[in-house]
Structure 1
Amino acid sequence: MQKLKSVLVSIEQSGRIEMDVLQKLTQEEKEIVNTLFHENLVSEALVFLEEMDTDAEWHLFMERAMVSKKQKFPFWRPILKYAAIFVGVMVTGYLVFRQNDMVNQNPISEMSIKLKMGNDNVKVIQEESSQQIISASGKVLGVQKGNRISYKVDSEISELVYNELEIPFGKIFEVELSDGTLVHLNSGTKIKYPVKFLNTGKREVFIEGEAYFKVAKDKNHPFVVHSDQVDVEVLGTEFNFSSYKEDTEIKTVLVEGSVSMSNSLRPEDQLVLVPGTKGAWNRVSHHTHEEKVDVDLYTGWIKGELVFRDISFLDMAKKLERSYNVVIENNNEPLSGKILNARFHVDIESIDDVMKSIGELHSFQYTIKNGKITID
């Protein structure tokens, strides 16, 4: 395994395969190297090898690979075709069975905050604890304290490496990126970001859900938020961004500074927002529009507040489900279209309190059982 590592390091540094270097390897390992090189997976393979504990694991893995080859099962290429990184080859190898056994014994709860640091490397974040965030190669990337992860600006990373955070319903979380940008993440949100921004190009992140950004100023490296077909670009500002899949619109509300909002389907619809305005892109019509808004209606969730103004119960229910981690089944059709105004605090009012308050305005019966609310 060490010989294979050294060969892959040489290829990663030179960008090509030196035939004299391959002489150190077995025929089977040469085939592996050629496949990895042509699939552009050399860097990922090095990460995978770092995660192997012993040479014994490597030999077991190779035995499995050779068996599949003798059976004329195309072991490498189909796996690499569907795997994001080299660790995906474990799907047909010995190691996957060991990992599956561990997962079955200790399944990750849907209520857990999850930090994905590789294709199969998922760390559960405990909000009441603290820990270092360490890469597969042993480098310290940052630290988690309570409900925030802060990444180091000076971590020993020279290439673009991504982490992904997933926040479940009923929780909010914060991540401080390596440039000092602070991101508040709402319930039911996923965000993908580099563990360290490089000194070239733009600072780019990818999001599904809702987040409030306090972007660190850097005029040489614009900050870009990507979601679906929409891009929001800034140099340094504060804004709220919402892109839940179940919502018909992707929305940006500007609090401070200036942002540019565009979409790939209709580039001519680019907006430049000023503070106190909202830009929205419709997933169905693909049109973009802007309007003046009360920013507090869109940013109160950071403090646990849920503020609703002129909103239908149908849309209100979606937000309540995310914030309280419940399922709302509404069998009262007239209620769906009722327009409501309300303000709640998730740390003060329970979901039962919320339903009672709404029921005082529009009478209905409901039951709550095992996290499911049924309205009749």
Structure 2
Amino acid sequence: MEEVLMMLKNGTYQSELAAAISQVAAEDLNSNTTGDLTSLEIENIYAGIQQKLHHTDAEPDEFQTRRKIIPLWSKISTAAAIALIAAGVLFYNQRKMPAVPGTATVKINIVPGANRAFLTLSGGKRISLSDAADGKIAQEEGVSITKTAGGQLVYSDAGSGPEKNAKQNRVSTPKGGKWRINLPDGTAVWLNAASSIAYPASFKGSKVRGVELNGEAYFEVAKDKAHPFIVKTDNQEVEVLGTHFSVNSYADETSVKTTLLEGRIRITGAGQQKILKPGEQSILNGKVLKIGTADLETAVAWKNDEFVFRGESIKEIMRVLVRWYNIDVEYRGAVTTEGFQGKIGMQKDITEVLQLLELTEAVHFKIEGRKIIVTK
């Protein structure tokens, strides 16, 4: 964007910009124009572009990295960049931007993920939540388990009666699936793709509210000072009283990341204990537990149906795409170690995501069935 701004300032490509603006307007089916824009209209749009770019600041990187970071739009060719800016200026009038060509080829339709999950009851019965009808689907220890019309799993404990045995339930999501669970204590859990959470059907009679997590989840914990809420992963334990936080503990990631949005939590891992404050993130890497400033948008992007990349390598990005699109990945030849920065909606077709990455010219893709081949 800085390079494009400089070109616009010195007027080097003003004629190309004017031609791009006219072309976009001419191709716009919703346009009220009957021909080329007038020179005055072009000048006004050109001035508007400069004004907007003068007030566009790059988003800061919360975590610094030694490798080069590529904004996903920074290596577009000059002509393409100007055309895209022209299209973007007109987009507020609900006009469509031309599709960006990419080298990714499609042989089958790879669709994005959706609400998919399975509930396993204490007796071993497995229920497909995406296929189950809305309403009551099971009952455990007097607790009613209901699937709502909005695609949530809700546990309703009357809160009275004798203490109950801790019968374990488990909700698991496949690759390409997410689900939300409301636990018996009122805690809300958003479960990301290829993840699972185990918990008792009732917390009654327990001194703590303990759950076990594999993968990634976002928690909004119901307040109960007398009964701390504990999330256990393979190498870490998170203790809270009532707060909002996320945990990323995928087995194929090199570290466990815990991000705090609200409240306070205690992290236990690698023989250490750390207290997190809002806006902080802990990173457990082997026997090292570190605390730093969190990028909150990135940490919970998946919950908000977005991919947000802030300096991740192509291999880190592809691990995310594997879980959401249920694909296989093959790397051929040397692969770039540069980092990528940008965002795109998770409901986009995978080709749109790959094309956005390809615009950097640092990586290319080929699709064969459900396999993505990555080359430099």
Whether the 8 Å contact between 1:117 and 1:135 is mirrored in structure 2 is: no
Q: Distance in 1 between matches of 2:234 and 2:191?
A: 18
Change (3 A) 1:136 1:198: closer
Higher helix share: 1
Shift of 1:136: 7.0
Q: Which residue of 2 aligns with 1:367?
A: 366
Letter in 2 for 1:201: K
Alignment partner of 1:165 out of 149, 168, 171: 171
Give a deviation string over 1:279-299, Cα, whole Å, max 9, x none: 11113xx11001012211101
Aligned-pair RMSD on alpha carbons?
2.0
Q: Which residue of 2 aligns with 1:329?
A: 330
Alignment partner of 1:232 out of 230, 235, 238: 238
Q: Distance in 2 between matches of 1:216 and 1:120?
A: 28
Alignment partner of 1:118 out of 115, 122, 146: 122
Q: If the length of structure 2 is used for normalisation, what is the TM-score?
A: 0.65
Shift of 1:314: 1.0
Number of residue equivalences: 258
Letter in 2 for 1:134: A
Q: Which residue of 2 aligns with 1:71?
A: none
Give a deviation string over 1:44-93, Cα, whole Å, max 9, x none: xxxxxxxxxxxxxxxxxxxxxxxxxxxxxxxxxxxxxxxxxxxxxxxxxx
Give a deviation string over 1:75-115, Cα, whole Å, max 9, x none: xxxxxxxxxxxxxxxxxxxxxxxxxxxxxxxxxxxx96211
Whether the 8 Å contact between 1:141 and 1:195 is mirrored in structure 2 is: no
Q: Any stretches of 5+ residues in structure 2 without a counterpart?
A: 1-114
Whether the 8 Å contact between 2:116 and 2:173 is mirrored in structure 1 is: yes
Letter in 2 for 1:277: E
Whether the 8 Å contact between 2:281 and 2:292 is mirrored in structure 1 is: yes
Change (3 A) 1:222 1:136: closer
Q: Which residue of 1 aligns with 2:250?
A: 244
Q: Secondary structure at the match of 2:316?
A: helix
Alignment partner of 2:283 out of 280, 293, 296: 280
Q: Which residue of 2 aligns with 1:218?
A: 224
Shift of 1:332: 4.0
Q: Which residue of 1 aligns with 2:317?
A: 316
Whether the 8 Å contact between 1:211 and 1:240 is mirrored in structure 2 is: yes
Q: Does 1:271 align with 2:286?
A: no
Whether the 8 Å contact between 1:186 and 1:210 is mirrored in structure 2 is: yes
Q: Distance in 1 between matches of 2:133 and 2:236?
A: 36
Q: Which residue of 2 aligns with 1:190?
A: 196
Percent of aligned positions that are identical: 28
Q: Which residue of 1 aligns with 2:299?
A: 298
Q: Distance in 2 between matches of 1:119 and 1:370?
A: 38
Q: Does 1:153 align with 2:160?
A: no
Q: Distance in 2 between matches of 1:160 and 1:133?
A: 19
Q: Any stretches of 5+ residues in structure 1 without a counterpart?
A: 1-110
Q: Which residue of 2 aligns with 1:202?
A: 208
Q: Distance in 1 between matches of 2:140 and 2:267?
A: 36
Please identify runs of 4+ aligned residues in structure 1 that moved more than 6 A: none
Shift of 1:339: 0.8
Q: Which residue of 2 aligns with 1:91?
A: none
Q: Distance in 2 between matches of 1:119 and 1:372?
A: 37
Shift of 1:363: 4.5
Q: Which moved more, 1:159-168 or 1:323-332?
A: 323-332
Shift of 1:318: 0.5
Q: Secondary structure at the match of 2:291?
A: strand
Q: Distance in 2 between matches of 1:119 and 1:332?
A: 49
Change (3 A) 1:368 1:234: same
Whether the 8 Å contact between 2:143 and 2:157 is mirrored in structure 1 is: no
Q: Which residue of 2 aligns with 1:181?
A: 187
Q: How does 1:3-18 map to 2 (within 5 A)?
A: none
Q: Secondary structure at the match of 1:248?
A: coil
- The higher-RCO structure (CA 8 Å, 6+ apart) is 2
Q: Which residue of 1 aligns with 2:357?
A: 358
Whether the 8 Å contact between 2:175 and 2:326 is mirrored in structure 1 is: yes
Q: If the length of structure 1 is used for normalisation, what is the TM-score?
A: 0.65
